[in-house]
Structure 1
């Protein structure tokens, strides 16, 4: 006996084809354009060390509302609510010669242990994105770091000069 009520899942290349496929009886339509965007966004969040369960929750919400947040301006602030990024700040800080951070690896200075992410370093006009823990900071590096205000304040001494001042440019 044939199923009189099949559940039809369809894949389409383009967003503008979704309505027609729903009208033809599809129960679910998966647009490649959106799924590609979701995957890219997922990988970016992983690079910024957003916890996997938060990424999965965000992706589930995107899919549950039929990708509506991609199709229109959302009234709900998905990113700031789900990712809790509003509590974090980006700062740019120069590594002065003689500072505790100069000449030491990220593992040695322990930024990640306290929840700070080093997103990129500009060294002699060359950008090094998301360096690993073996990366050694050098004098005059310009570091872009992410963390809460309290976390960033707690590591200010690492980027201080011998005279006790700090060189922060945010």
Structure 2
């Protein structure tokens, strides 16, 4: 029996389960049933009704991308970028973590309420680097004890150093 392995690289994102508790599903638009049997437009300025099963680009988790970028620190940016773009649905999420302009550089980025990642940049030699290699999980601000905070995918230990540390507004992604 032969096992076939795909040579195609895995995507750097995954779909989020939007049927789980706590996921906002209220941005779907109007109810289709309200327009179901209408043959004519009610108002000529409005677009015609669309089908029920349109594709919406919501529900993407880019954690695999962030881990990929962290694994490529020290490598040539152009090669890293080329590979990442080929494995994504759009290039924008790369720049949530990688800051191109020096004035935008931050030690960390916040990707949701309790997930933090090292800020990345491109150095003068064209290599992908961490903005602040000395920044650790203990430097992440922890504001409540009910959430599990993560830094680069690992749980953040709560200590007196980071407990109730103020969060700067520009730290939000």
Normalising by structure 1, report the TM-score.
Answer: 0.22
**Greater percentage in strand:** 1
**Greater percentage in helix:** 1
Larger radius of gyration: 1
Normalising by structure 2, report the TM-score.
Answer: 0.22
